[in-house]
Amino acid sequence: MKPNPSAAVVVAPVVVVLDDWEGRWAAYPALSTIRPLADVRIFADRFLGLTDLAAAAGDATVLVLNRERTRVDAALLDALPHLRVIVNTGGGLNHVNRAAAEARGVRILTTGGRSRAVAEQTFALMLAAVKHLPQLDRGIRVGRFATRPLVGDLYGKRLGLAGLGTIGTHVARIAPAFGMHVTAWSPSLSDERAAELGAIRAPSLSALARASDVFSVHLRLVPETRGIVSAEVIAALPHGALFVNTARAELVDTEALLERAERGDLSVALDVFEDEPDIDPRYRMLPGALSPHVGWKSEGTWDEFVSLGVDRILEALASLEGATT
């Protein structure tokens, strides 16, 4: 029988997963539900340029982004002519040009954010900084068993939370277990909401800083909050305070923070930096504890992201099928 030249050729949609550095997508069993429906391609490499990205994802119908590891701007969207849906793990979309995507008819689906791991990392960094754990650990590993270290306490300290959203709420709930007294501020925080969590609402961000032995940033990065932790706020922190940031570096006046910490006037507990991974070398010498933006990256969080990401991909494929019938 001769082939019918008029018969429609069905081309499977292409699902491209970028930046699977830890191999969590490649190892996830539920991907078997997608493979019969689409050509699934998973990349563990970090693509730094438009040319490489376009070569890897140029025929993508669905593009899966892992957090904010790849920036999707208008130029990249132009290089992906078949793209119909972006699926993003996490809730933040600062790395996606949403207006450009909308103009090209590209839908954006997200898995939503996860906060427990970041709250845990916040306290891990606090404890590491206050108890001098990085220094003590290094000392033991080189054969120096220090017998006279004087470490600090969290008990009785005033914890100031800049932001009382999902992550800040988790932190506020954990703090009393350490005997900490919580004060909070955010642009929309009410006295009633603060009281629900056993916290006091500060009248301003500078007032919060003045009342904090430990100042922890949990605000979302939007245009209105960029640089909101200003030099004035940093100057208001008491001498010897601990500055914690597991949110976004762009929320903070970095120069003001570095200057105070370099003077030894305060210590830091940081998981986020500007220009990651090529961060300012001055951070290496600051008193406190540092981690390389891993607060969100727990095994449990990854499992949730990938599981929900599979659901979003199936939703995207169903919508594409509906659009062609």
By CB neighbour count within 10 A (0-12 exposed, 13-18 middle, 19+ buried), where does 41 fall?
A: middle
Q: What is the dihedral of CA 115, 291, 162, 124, to 10 degrees?
A: 70
Tell me the C-alpha distance between 18 and 226, whole Å: 27
Tokens 């070569």 locate to 55
> In 3D, which of 290, 232, 282, 230 has the Cα closest to residue 261?
282
Tokens 């933006």 locate to 293
248 is catalytic: yes
Residue of 220, 248, 260, 312 marked active site: 248
Three-state SS for 302? helix
How many other CB atoms are there within 10 angstroms of residue 177's CB atom? 9
> What's the chain's Rg over C-alpha atoms?
23
Residue of 232, 276, 299, 321 marked active site: 276
Phi, psi of 109 (to 5 degrees): -120, 140
DSSP designation for 249 = G
Per DSSP bridges, beta strands 181-185 and 200-201 are parallel
Q: How far is CA 182 from CA 37, 118, 154, 202, 215, in A?
A: 50, 18, 12, 10, 10
Alpha helices for the chain (secondary structure H): 50-57, 74-78, 98-103, 116-130, 133-141, 166-174, 191-196, 205-210, 231-236, 254-262, 299-323
The pair of structure tokens assigned to 36 is 């019969």
DSSP β-bridge partners for residue 41: 16
Catalytic residue annotation: 248, 276, 293
